[in-house]
């Protein structure tokens, strides 16, 4: 595992990595602008610069971009129309971000047309980490997120908030997901999960997934660590 940037500027050609799982042809690497189109088959296309990392699957793009002191990520449709989810982390001066804030990013090739992006950061009085796994064959991206207070009672962002844009006017929800052939799933393995009644909540301009701020900062301020998982799968056949 190596921190970004992990490619030398002298490398101008595409580097192909091995394959072993049936249907997993390769992972392609290159500078942004070098790769275009789709080579066919189950291929992850990874493009990077110092302040940007893009992973392209058959169903959508996952883009990480550095904004001031933190990494923002965007999930966007690449076929059959337009939609995008943009993470909302807030600003450095916020006492508590609206979503986990990450200052460090690492990329790991997992082989078999899979990769994982690992994130770490802190804001206010909390530390945040996440593992984002992308599987091209399954056409799925999985988020495993953890927030930890430095001491009890400090405000923590135990939810991931997204701004949603799409070609239609319909608000985010079950019908919106179905209209784009998307499957969205959540799980809450951490302490306090038994009281979760609305894991996904609409907010102005989008939605959030995780623990409501009222729950983790007012009702249960003594819980130091919060963990939530969610995944997005493109159900449409390639």
The residues near 93 (Cβ < 8 Å, ≥ 6 apart) are: none
Strands (E), 78-180: 83-87, 104-111, 114-123, 126-135, 140-149, 159-166
**Cα–Cα distance between 63 and 61 in angstroms, integer?**
6
- CA 107, 110, 112, 115 torsion: positive or negative? negative
Structural domain of residue 135, as residue ranges?
Answer: 2-234
**Cα–Cα distance between 130 and 102 in angstroms, integer?**
9
pLDDT at 87: 95
The residues near 46 (Cβ < 8 Å, ≥ 6 apart) are: 27, 28, 29, 30, 53, 54, 55, 56, 107, 115
Q: What percent of the chain has pLDDT over 90?
A: 32
Q: Based on the structure, what is the number of domains in the chain? A: 1
Helix (H) / strand (E) element for 56: namely strand 52-56
pLDDT at 40: 47
Band of residue 11 on the pLDDT scale cut at 50, 70, 90: very low
pLDDT at 38: 36
pLDDT at 159: 92
**Cα–Cα distance between 188 and 178 in angstroms, integer?**
23
pLDDT, tens digit, for every residue of 211-220?
888 888 787 8
> Does residue 225 register a pLDDT over 80?
yes
pLDDT, tens digit, for every residue of 159-177?
999 999 886 666 778 888 8
């Amino acid at each position: 595992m190596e921190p970004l940037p992990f490619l030398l500027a002298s490398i101008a050609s595409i580097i192909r990595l091995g394959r072993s799982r049936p249907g997993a042809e390769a992972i392609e690497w290159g500078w942004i602008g070098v790769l275009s189109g789709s080579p066919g088959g189950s291929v992850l296309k990874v493009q990077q610069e110092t302040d940007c990392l893009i992973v392209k699957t058959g169903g959508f793009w996952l883009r990480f971009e550095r904004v001031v002191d933190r990494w923002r990520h965007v999930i966007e449709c690449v076929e059959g129309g337009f939609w995008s989810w943009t993470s909302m982390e807030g600003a450095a001066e916020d006492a508590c971000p609206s979503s986990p804030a990450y200052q460090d990013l690492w990329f790991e090739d997992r082989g078999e047309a899979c990769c994982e992006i690992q994130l770490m950061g802190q804001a206010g009085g909390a530390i945040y980490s996440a593992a984002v796994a992308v599987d091209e064959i399954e056409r799925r991206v999985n988020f495993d997120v953890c927030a930890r207070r430095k001491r009890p009672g400090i405000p923590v962002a135990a939810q991931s908030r997204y701004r949603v844009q799409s070609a239609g006017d319909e608000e985010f929800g079950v019908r919106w997901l179905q209209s784009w052939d998307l499957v969205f799933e959540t799980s809450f393995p951490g302490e306090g999960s038994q009281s979760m009644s609305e894991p996904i909540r609409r907010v102005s301009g989008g939605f959030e997934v995780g623990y409501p701020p009222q729950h983790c900062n007012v009702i249960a301020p003594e819980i130091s660590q919060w963990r939530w998982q969610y995944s997005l799968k493109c159900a449409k056949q390639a």
